[in-house]
Structure 1
Amino acid sequence: MTALTRVLDRFKVPGDLWGGFASMLVALPASVGFGVTVYSAISPQYAVFGALAGILGATALGLIAPTFGGTDRLISAPCAPAAAVLSAFAIELVHQGTAPASIVLLLTVMGMLTGMIQMFIGFMGAGRLIKYIPYTVVSGYLSGVGLIIVGSQIPHFVGASSDLHWWRALTSPETWDGRSLIVGGATVGAAFVALRGKRTIPATIVGILAGLLAYVLLARNDPTMRTLENNPLVLGALGATGEGYLQTITSRWTDIGELRLSQIAALLGSALTLAALLSIDTLKTCVVIDQMTRTRHEPNRELLAQGLANIASSAVGGMPGAGTMGATMVNLSSGAQTRVSGVIEGVLALLAALLLSQFIAWVPVATLAGILIVVGLRMIDTKPLRFLESRATVFDFAVVLVVVACALTVGLIAASATGVALSILLFVREQVGGSVVRHKTFVSQRSSTWYRPEDEMRLIAQQGDRAVIFELQGSLFFGTTYELYTLLEPELKTRDYVILDLRRVQSVDITAANMLGNARDLLRERGKLLLLSHVREQLPNGRNLREFLIQTGLIEPDVPVPALLGAQAPEPQGTVRVFKDLPAAIEWVEDRIVSQIVRPQDSQAALTLQEMQMFKDHRDDTMADLEASLQQRSFKAGETIYAIGDQVPELFLIRSGEVRITAPIAASRQVHHIATYGRGDFFGGMSFLDELARSENAIAQTDIELFALSLEQYVRLSENHKKLSLLLMTAISRTLAQRLRHADGERTLLHA
């Protein structure tokens, strides 16, 4: 099945038919105007060829782009950026003394090169990159092109010679033709009135009809306006089926074969500029369609189709173009549903040119100039004026202003490059202005996922300020390096451990890596350590952070992989420690702080009930009754004690070993480490109290010995030993309250 067959299979009548017809009424006159703009820059005698180039461009683009493209409702036709670049190129060649026939030939080759570059961009998958051009650049570019279009049409609007510069024509009333002013003024006025109305008829059509009516009324009293010969006020005969035009196209192809490679290479810069502008114009229109229809376009496929259409259009002497906003919006509002509406627009453009060529010949030049002035004025983006209302955005307005100024004085490619460069500088400025330190805390204020005995917690609270924690965010690059080192330097000189959490870091450059190396060296001189957590293997920019830090010499290449897994990993060499996450780094520091607490030699032996912290200072006979209600259980390392969804409400007291509590992260295969409990602690209290299903997994991290108390056994115990049951519940509640208080304190600290 061919591409055209697939398109026809989706044909939606009557929406596509009316949409194609309405968009043709908008696109065809504008295409003719754009063609005249370009070719009249060569010589007034070439205006007719310009009109034909616009017609053929609207036809070729209308037929080919939607057939092979992937965006429904998109209308492709000659457009303002193409007219601006090509007319500027033609004017430059005229000033260089290039022969008119050679200029036409070079315009053809340039259009074909533009299409080839667009196809290459689409083939390489670079279409998605165009959407990253900053809004300030796009806004300034659109306004600059709009002003260029308005300026180029002023001589035609006032009836002056097209050789005059727009400023000269505007300031020389003696060169004006009152008839052109009346016709052009009627066109512009009617178009703007139509834009403010309900838009039952497109404003472009209303403006053209008003201009034609004004011309007819003037022609009643002026015989020179009723003839096509030597009448500078109208387009003149198009000759769409004349042998002269066909012969010109044929001879043009013959002449192309005689072009030197150096001449073609000289066109590449302008063709690249035009390809970029047309691609931006197309994809910008596609994005608007997506927003209005809740669809998604395929940028690379669309660029391939647009490039192919521009090659075909230029090959037959037509204007290159792009997906146009005005005609597309008319198409959409007229009920179009599929790409067939674009094909219909191309067919109707050709039929209108063939059947109505005599009518088009009488279209006043001032009318087309008026329409293009309206289009140019509407392209001027006034939204950036709001940027002046705030000091925070005044620099963004300056970028727009510089882009417009460069477009008017230097060129569009220079304007785009300047705008992107200034936007990058503004981005760097914003990054430098924001802090890369999200939080600064101490281990005494934070805790790992390890729930420790009270004596250890007291010691950590007393000495936890030996370790400072910096949670970093954003981009660590040359613009933020100085600020970060300024914050780190005092801590590097006084703390035993400096922890840098890289979880929220988006990118790291070589300057930042070198600064971290300096921080490591300063700690090394004091015999202290730098700890890094969340050293990911893939940052948002695609860089492998761990590999990058090894290449820059910050961490050793032979750091064992277990060192990335947590605090229980083997000790790596050097003065930098690398941990999977921040709790693992904090746990590692906590272990070193509490290592000064002397434990009995049998500290790993299984505890009796009376030896547990929560039951100290209670009578032995009471504990004997409680112990009689408990079951002793043992698990090997790695075995599951309970899993998510288990319904058995039990409380577990740890006699020896360690248990790890985990839960899966929602909508992810990753597992979150919630807590680790050790000898003398308990777990499973929440389900024991509320009798709901387990919401986490409990896995033995080492061989473990447990006391297990089921809810059923507790109820029996409470019937006979009310004081004992109250004692047990009080101990559980007190411990849970301490954990909750600590968690609330940390949460408040993190949100400060």
Structure 2
Amino acid sequence: MRLIENLHFNNIRGDITGGITAGVVALPFAIAMGLASGAGAIAGLYGAIITGFFAALFGGTGAQVSGPTGPMTVVMALVVTQFVTYFSGEIDPITGLIYTQDAALGTGLAIAFTTVVLGGIFQIIFGLLKLGRFINLMPHPVTSGFMTGIGVIIIILQIPQVLGFYDIKGSTTGIFSQLGEVKEYFVNIGAISIAAITLATVYLLPKKIGKFIPAPLFALVTGTLVLLFFPELFSSSAEPLNAMILGEIPTGLPSFQTPVWEVSIVVDMIAAGMMLAILGSIDSLLTSLVSDEITRTHHKSDRELIGQGIGNTLSGLFGGLPGAGATMRTMTNVKAGGLTPISGALHAVLLLAIVLGGAQYAKEIPLAVLGAILVKVGTDIIDWEYLKNLASTPKSGALIMIVVLGITVFYNLMAAVGVGLVMASLIFLQRMTDVQLASIISVQTIEEASHLDETHQELIRAGNTLFYQLNGPMSFGSAKGVVRDFSTKSNYNRAILDLSNVPVIDYTTSRSISEICNICQEKSAEITIVGANIKVRHALENIGIDKELISH
């Protein structure tokens, strides 16, 4: 295994251009997602730098650019809220005093960053166990409902920022309940105006300008300049101007964050880490598929999981957000010429240079601008194509998508994935059962026996013979149906059970064939099992079926 996959210097000019362009695009997203996560803008920047650098070097997708993404930010925001809330009002075991708000925030964030480390370790384990191919098997309705739900959550969480109600925080349902208590709903004209300008910019910026400066960055600069040069336009807002801006961002290199363990919530920490790992893996591998399509290459999914895991582990250890492969940044990189890990690593180096030399200039960025940028992120994540064709898609797929979407938005992300997978598995099992039962061939008259060989036709012609043929791999889902169908047959004193087209059977199907033998015995009918291969024959003998009934 090569230390750095897909590394070469034949495309160095394109990689430099792609890396710089991707870094410029990543800047507003990193700041916005850091703020949205509750961990702070600097956590978003550190996450973009660390995951972007190490996932590029040790991942399995050459042109992929990694960093904080919408889905990962949503989960991180929930994790931060969960653990900060847990410590609020609790007693500090060291001092014996009740946690102050700042102490609860500090401890909660430390726990949250520890879960990021756990998530990264889980991803490395996924890669070492070669689980990447299984993650790619996620049914599309589940993925669509999940991602659409995350997009909706991102949009809802930005409502306070866009409307200028900065004291409103919490979950999706909590935000709606708090907004209902606001008497003057659209009172902060300043925030709404800046958000509207930002949204108009990211959606309507001419492509000619977008070639030179990405729309999100142009919107961020435009919104900031409007507030700086025309503050009088917003002086009547309900919030003071200093409440409308990002404020100071720490500069310098990140410091090491010692992992913090709390025994009373260790199960919650592991669950949160697993959620980050699963979501990060899905998010990254979906982006890897997009990268494959536009670069005509093939990623290595298990290697990608290891690279993402290394990036997230280190990000958590240095106070950064968890990251994943970012579709927009990856496509920007490729379109600008990037093809190798050099481009992804360079994008991270550029962000590091900005943090070290220019973070102090970001303090004037309006929160409404960042909120509006994330609204655009949320709308981009929503699977509009699937929603547009929802009425014409199979009802089962549409049902799965809607259920997963609802659970994601209003209950729990992990539960949404679990419920979606169970529903998809049960529906698939039912379909396979129907196909397997429909493939059964039952013949009792010579008119039905034209496709049989001469020997079996002679037996049918002799009368009172039932020829019963199973086809394809038989599973536990169809086992009971086979017995139920066979039990409806009558007027025979000899049965031939043909398994020549059955390559494999499981324990439940073996039991069902044993029941068929018992049915024949109860009717005093002779039964012969023909065509069974060695594996099927052994399975039948192991279940206790008489060897004499199985023809060789």
TM range (shorter): 0.7 to 0.9
Alpha carbons 1:492, 1:522 under 8 Å: kept: no
Which has more helix, going by share of residues? Answer: 2
Q: 1:292 aligns with which of 294, 303, 324?
A: 294
Q: CA deviation at 1:495?
A: 5.6
SS at match of 1:3: coil
Q: CA deviation at 1:83?
A: 1.4
Partner of 2:76: 86
Q: CA deviation at 1:63?
A: 1.3
- What is the aligned-residue identity percentage? 24
Q: TM-score, normalised by structure 2?
A: 0.85
Post-superposition CA distance 1:492-546 (Å, at most 9, x none): 65163423235256x6343332221121233345352222325364xxxxxxx44
Q: Which has the higher contact order (CA 8 A, sep 6+)?
A: 2
2:514 matches 1:517: yes
SS at match of 1:500: strand
What letter matches 2:126 in structure 1?
Answer: I
Post-superposition CA distance 1:407-456 (Å, at most 9, x none): 122210111111112212222332344452426365852355xxx9xxx9
- Taking the aligned partners of 1:139 and 1:131, their CA distance within structure 2 comes to 13
Alpha carbons 1:473, 1:502 under 8 Å: kept: no
- Taking the aligned partners of 1:351 and 1:79, their CA distance within structure 2 comes to 21
Label 1:394 to 1:213 Cα distance change in 2 as closer, same or farther (>3 A): farther
SS at match of 1:267: helix
What letter matches 1:295 in structure 2?
Answer: T
Partner of 2:97: none
Alignment of structure 1 residues 692-703 onto 2, 5 Å: none
How many residue pairs match? The answer is: 523
2:188 matches 1:192: no
Partner of 2:28: 29
What letter matches 1:186 in structure 2?
Answer: I
Which has more strand, going by share of residues? Answer: 1
What letter matches 1:470 in structure 2?
Answer: Q
Alignment of structure 1 residues 86-485 onto 2, 5 Å: 86-98=76-88, 99-164=104-169, 165-168=174-177, 170-171=179-180, 172=182, 174=184, 176-194=187-205, 200=211, 201-219=213-231, 231-241=242-252, 249=255, 252-253=257-258, 256=259, 259-385=261-387, 388-390=390-392, 393-438=394-439, 440=441, 444-446=449-451, 448=453, 462-463=461-462, 466=465, 468-473=467-472, 475-478=474-477, 480-485=478-483
Q: 2:50 aligns with which of 38, 55, 60?
A: 60
- Taking the aligned partners of 1:320 and 1:173, their CA distance within structure 2 comes to 37
SS at match of 1:531: strand
What letter matches 1:120 in structure 2?
Answer: I
Alpha carbons 2:235, 2:241 under 8 Å: kept: no
Alignment of structure 1 residues 523-542 onto 2, 5 Å: 523-524=520-521, 526-535=524-533, 537=535
Q: TM-score, normalised by structure 1?
A: 0.64
SS at match of 1:231: helix
Which one is further off, 125-134 or 298-307? 125-134
Post-superposition CA distance 1:292-330 (Å, at most 9, x none): 333222111111111111111111111111111111111
Label 1:413 to 1:529 Cα distance change in 2 as closer, same or farther (>3 A): same
- Taking the aligned partners of 1:461 and 1:8, their CA distance within structure 2 comes to 68
Alpha carbons 2:168, 2:175 under 8 Å: kept: no
Label 1:521 to 1:67 Cα distance change in 2 as closer, same or farther (>3 A): same
Q: CA deviation at 1:344?
A: 1.0
What letter matches 2:370 in structure 1?
Answer: L
What letter matches 2:204 in structure 1?
Answer: V
Alpha carbons 2:234, 2:241 under 8 Å: kept: no
Alpha carbons 1:90, 1:103 under 8 Å: kept: yes
CA RMSD of the aligned region, Å? 3.2
Q: CA deviation at 1:338?
A: 1.3
Q: CA deviation at 1:555?
A: 5.6
- Taking the aligned partners of 2:385 and 2:233, their CA distance within structure 1 comes to 45
Label 1:359 to 1:173 Cα distance change in 2 as closer, same or farther (>3 A): farther
Partner of 1:634: none
What letter matches 2:550 in structure 1?
Answer: V
- Taking the aligned partners of 2:139 and 2:546, their CA distance within structure 1 comes to 37
Label 1:482 to 1:377 Cα distance change in 2 as closer, same or farther (>3 A): same
- Taking the aligned partners of 1:272 and 1:27, their CA distance within structure 2 comes to 26
Alpha carbons 1:436, 1:476 under 8 Å: kept: no
Label 1:196 to 1:419 Cα distance change in 2 as closer, same or farther (>3 A): farther
